[in-house]
A = this chain, B = another copy of it.
Amino acid sequence: MSRKLRTDPIELAQRNWRSRHWEAAADGMAIVTSVMRVQQIFSSEVETVLKPLGLTFARYEVLMLLDFSSSGELPLGKIGERLQVHPASVTNAVDRLESDGLVLRTPNPRDGRSTLASISPDGRKLAASASIALNQHVFECVGLTPTEQRSAFRLLGKIRHVAGDYR
């Protein structure tokens, strides 16, 4: 007696690829598609946990970047660089964090063109509770063994690692 397993849509796509004689690209297509799907899954889990706290993942990342920085403040441009997002996205995220009292904008004393975002005590408190919630409900439930986790991290790192730089 065999348990009925739904076929994997990505394996199906892989077979379809091979049937069109795209053998050389079939595995790559499967990996790209898999990453897209897993990102959807993680993303929706993360947003579910953060929503009651009034945060999105983008704003959470900004908050944690500031929380871990030595002085608790960073130029907006630096934030965009580290998170690999458009300057306009940083402006948007910091606008919202600021109006929620989690972050403060101050002029950069070393450069009149630049603005610093600095984390507030409330911001630090929220960053901590959000992290604890994410640890419990997402990060500790990835569904891989410790060995597999290290392996997955290494493989994803190899994709991110290009020309001596991590991106």
Contact = CB atoms under 8 A, between A and B. Distances in A.
Copies in the complex: 2
Contact of A155 (B20, B30, B64, B155): B155
A5 B139 contact: no
B144 A148 contact: no
A107 interface: no
A146 B9 CA distance: 21
Interface in A27-71: 27-32, 34-43, 46, 57, 64, 68
Nearest to A26: B139
Interface residues of A, number: 67
A124 to B, nearest CB: 12
Nearest to A84: B40
Given A37-B167, A144-B155, A167-B41, A149 B10 contact: no
B82 A9 contact: yes
Interface string A132-160: 00111011111110101111110111111
25 contacts: A6-B165, A9-B166, A24-B140, A25-B134, A27-B149, A27-B150, A28-B140, A28-B142, A31-B144, A31-B152, A31-B156, A32-B138, A34-B153, A34-B156, A35-B35, A35-B39, A35-B42, A35-B156, A37-B84, A37-B160, A38-B156, A143-B162, A144-B159, A148-B158, A152-B156
